[in-house]
Amino acid sequence: MNNLKKAIICFFIIGSSSAIAKPAESLIDAQNAIKSRQAVHLLMYNSMMKIKEIINNKKPYNASDMKFNAQNLYNLTLMVEPYFMIDTSGFKIENHTNNNLWLNEKDITNKSIDVIRLSQSLLSAAEVGDKPQIASTFSETFKACKACHYDYKIK
Ligand code: HEC
């Protein structure tokens, strides 16, 4: 399946479902939800740092490494919104999500779609090996990560 089709399908699935977060049912449930969502973000960060190393010539350009990391990043972005769908605000567990997040689900959906869409452009650029386009879509994706952190991540 080509990337455009994938993007349209994921847009349809995520964009059309008005996801509503459910409260975590127990302390364990909340702890697992926090660990899972943090893992998704940490893995996205790792993929982005690997891509950045190549962009900044810290590592030699290698088309298959670039594609591998861009594909992983794209796959992970599909998990951003679903993993915010367990509301952990009812439990006192250390984490860095601002509780306002669960009051702004539409915005979370939109911000999640932004990273999906931009990382998908990054993947397309990686697939054809277009280096300037890789650099610019990388920086756009990074801005979309930061936009959500600015509003909903506690430092
Ligand atoms: C829809 C909002 C949103 C988007 C989009 C988003 N993040 Fe996050 N991110 C958060 C929130 C909220 C947290 C805090 C999670 C927690 O601790 O509960 C977080 C946490 C993190 C963390 C810390 C994880 C940890 O181990 O505690 C990293 C790293 C991170 N994000 C990277 C990224 C990257 C890279 C992207 C873009 C590819 C991204 N995020 C996109 C909201 C977002």
pLDDT, one tens digit per residue, over 95-114 is: 999 999 999 999 999 999 99
Q: Distance, CA 38 to ligand 1 centroid (Å)? A: 7
Is there an atom of ligand 1 within 6 Å of 153 CB? yes
Q: Is residue 18 part of a domain?
A: no
Q: Is residue 12 part of a domain?
A: no
Is there an atom of ligand 1 within 6 Å of 148 CB? yes
Q: Is residue 35 part of a domain?
A: yes
How much is the average pLDDT of 14-43? Answer: 88
Is there an atom of ligand 1 within 6 Å of 37 CB? yes
Q: Which residue has the higher pLDDT, 20 or 41?
A: 41
Q: Distance, CA 146 to ligand 1 centroid (Å)? A: 8
pLDDT, one tens digit per residue, over 50-83 is: 999 999 999 999 999 999 999 999 999 999 999 9
From 9, 36, 21, select the one nearest 93 (Cα to Cα): 36
Q: Is residue 14 part of a domain?
A: no
Q: Is residue 123 part of a domain?
A: yes
pTM (two decimals): 0.91
Distances (CA, A) of 91 to 28, 32, 74: 10, 12, 31
Do 86 and 30 touch, CB atoms closer than 8 A? yes
| Residue numbers of the domain that contains 40 | 25-152
Q: Distance, CA 34 to ligand 1 centroid (Å)? A: 11
Q: What is the CATH number of the domain that holds 58?
A: 1.20.120.10
Q: Is residue 10 part of a domain?
A: no
| Structural domains counted in the chain | 1
Q: Is residue 116 part of a domain?
A: yes
